[in-house]
Chains A and B, each alone.
Chain A
Amino acid sequence: MKKIGLFYSFGSKKTAKIAGIVYNSFSGDDVQLINVDEVKKEKFLEFDNLIVGVPTWFDGELPNYWDELLPALEEIDFSNKRVAIFGLGDQKGYTENFCDAIGIMATFLEERGALIVGKTAVEGYTFEGSKAVRDGQFVGLPLDQENQARLTNGRIEYWVGNLKKEFI
Chain B
Amino acid sequence: MKVLQDIPVPKTFTIKNTDKVILEKWFYMMTLGRMIDEKAPNYLKQAIGWSYHAPYAGHDGIQLAIGQIFNRETDHLFPYYRDMLTNISAGLTGEEIILNGISKAADVTSGGRHMSNHIGKPEWNIHNVSSATGNHTLHAVGVARAIKYYKGKGVAISSQGESSVSEGYVYEAINGASTEELPVIFVFQDNGYGISVPKKDQTANRKVANNFSGFKNLRIIHCNGKDVFDSINAMTEAKKWSLENQQPCIVQANCIRIHAHSNSDRHDLYRNDAELGYVQESDPLLKFKRMLLRYERFTDEEILAIEAKAKEELKVAHRNALASPDPDPASIYDFVIPEPYPASKYPEGLHNFSGEKKKLIEGLNETLKAEFRLNPDTFIWGQDIANKDKGGIFNVSKGLQKEFGTARVFNGPIAEDFITGTANGMSRYSKKIRIVVEGAEFADYFWPAMEQYVEMTHEYWRTNGKFSPNVTIRLASGGYIGGGLYHSQSTEGALATFPGIRVVYPSFADDAAGLLRTSLRSEGPTLFLEPKALYNSPAAATPIPDDFEVPFGKARIRREGTDLSIITYGNTTHLSLKVAERLSGEGFNLEVIDIRSLIPLDKETIINSVKKTGRVLVVHEDKVFGGFGGELAGMIGEEAFEFLDAPVRRVGSAFTPVGFNRILEAAILINEEKIYAAALALLKY
CA distance A96 to B281 in the complex (A): 24
Q: Known: A59-B254, A67-B227, A71-B15. Is A96-B287 also a contact (CB below 8 A)?
A: no
Residue of B nearest to A64 (CB): B287
A72 in contact with B295 (CB, 8 Å): yes
Q: Which residues of A contact B509 (CB under 8 A)?
A: none
CA distance A97 to B15 in the complex (A): 26
Q: Which residues of A contact B295 (CB under 8 A)?
A: 71-72
A64 CB contact (under 8 Å) in B15, B205, B282? B282
B206 in contact with A59 (CB, 8 Å): yes
Q: How far, in Å, is A68 (CB) from chain B's closest CB?
A: 6
> Within A111-153, which residues are at the interface with B (CB < 8 Å)?
none
Q: Known: A68-B290, A71-B16, A72-B295. Is A96-B207 also a contact (CB below 8 A)?
A: yes
Q: Which residues of B contact A58 (CB under 8 A)?
A: 224, 226, 254, 256, 282
> Within A98-121, which residues are at the interface with B (CB < 8 Å)?
none
Residue of A nearest to B225 (CB): A58
A96 in contact with B256 (CB, 8 Å): no
Q: Which residues of A contact B256 (CB under 8 A)?
A: 58
B224 in contact with A61 (CB, 8 Å): yes
Q: How far, in Å, is A166 (CB) from chain B's closest CB?
A: 30
Q: Which residues of A contact B224 (CB under 8 A)?
A: 58, 61, 67
Q: Chain A 54-86, CB within 8 Å of chain B: the 1/0 string?
A: 000111110010011001101000000000000
A7 adjacent to chain B (CB < 8 Å) = no
A47 adjacent to chain B (CB < 8 Å) = no
Q: Known: A61-B224, A61-B254. Is A68-B207 also a contact (CB below 8 A)?
A: no
A94 in contact with B206 (CB, 8 Å): yes
Q: How far, in Å, is B97 (CB) from chain A's closest CB?
A: 28
Residue of B nearest to A67 (CB): B227
A71 in contact with B206 (CB, 8 Å): no
B432 adjacent to chain A (CB < 8 Å) = no
Residue of A nearest to B281 (CB): A64
B14 adjacent to chain A (CB < 8 Å) = yes
Q: How far, in Å, is A67 (CB) from chain B's closest CB?
A: 7
B: number of interface residues (CB 8 Å): 21
B450 adjacent to chain A (CB < 8 Å) = no
Q: Which residues of B contact A97 (CB under 8 A)?
A: 206
B414 adjacent to chain A (CB < 8 Å) = no
CA distance A58 to B206 in the complex (A): 11
Q: Chain B 520-538, CB within 8 Å of chain A: the 1/0 string?
A: 0000000000000000000
> Within A18-59, which residues are at the interface with B (CB < 8 Å)?
57-59
B294 adjacent to chain A (CB < 8 Å) = yes
B291 adjacent to chain A (CB < 8 Å) = yes
A: number of interface residues (CB 8 Å): 14
Q: Which residues of A contact B205 (CB under 8 A)?
A: 96
Q: Which residues of A contact B287 (CB under 8 A)?
A: 64, 68
CA distance A61 to B254 in the complex (A): 9
Q: Chain B 281-294, CB within 8 Å of chain A: the 1/0 string?
A: 11000010011001
Q: Which residues of B contact A67 (CB under 8 A)?
A: 224, 227
Q: Which residues of B contact A71 (CB under 8 A)?
A: 14-16, 291, 295
CA distance A96 to B210 in the complex (A): 11
CA distance A5 to B206 in the complex (A): 36
> Within B242-289, which residues are at the interface with A (CB < 8 Å)?
254, 256, 281-282, 287
Q: Chain B 210-241, CB within 8 Å of chain A: the 1/0 string?
A: 10000000000010101100000000000000
B206 CB contact (under 8 Å) in A68, A72, A74, A96? A96
B254 in contact with A68 (CB, 8 Å): no
Q: Which residues of A contact B226 (CB under 8 A)?
A: 58
> Within B158-212, which residues are at the interface with A (CB < 8 Å)?
190, 205-207, 210
CA distance A77 to B71 in the complex (A): 40
CA distance A71 to B296 in the complex (A): 12
Residue of B nearest to A63 (CB): B282
Q: Which residues of B contact A96 (CB under 8 A)?
A: 205-207, 210
Q: How far, in Å, is B578 (CB) from chain A's closest CB?
A: 68
Q: Which residues of B contact A61 (CB under 8 A)?
A: 224, 254
B207 in contact with A59 (CB, 8 Å): yes
CA distance A96 to B209 in the complex (A): 13
Q: Which residues of A contact B190 (CB under 8 A)?
A: 59
CA distance A93 to B294 in the complex (A): 33
CA distance A18 to B341 in the complex (A): 75
A68 CB contact (under 8 Å) in B210, B222, B294? B294
Q: Which residues of A contact B222 (CB under 8 A)?
A: 60
CA distance A97 to B207 in the complex (A): 10
Residue of A nearest to B274 (CB): A13
Known: A68-B287, A94-B206, A97-B206. 20 other contacts (CB 8 A): A57-B282, A58-B256, A59-B190, A59-B207, A59-B254, A60-B222, A61-B224, A61-B254, A64-B281, A64-B282, A64-B287, A67-B224, A67-B227, A68-B290, A68-B291, A71-B15, A71-B291, A72-B294, A74-B16, A96-B210
List 27 A-B residue pairs with CB atoms under 8 Å apart, sorted by A's residue number.
A58-B224, A58-B226, A58-B256, A58-B282, A59-B190, A59-B207, A59-B254, A60-B222, A60-B254, A61-B224, A61-B254, A64-B281, A64-B282, A67-B224, A67-B227, A68-B287, A68-B291, A68-B294, A71-B14, A71-B15, A71-B16, A72-B294, A72-B295, A74-B16, A96-B205, A96-B210, A97-B206
Binding site for B on A (CB under 8 A): 57-61, 64, 67-68, 71-72, 74, 94, 96-97
Would you list the 5 A-B pairs with minimal beta carbon distance, nearest first? A71-B15, A96-B206, A58-B254, A64-B287, A61-B224
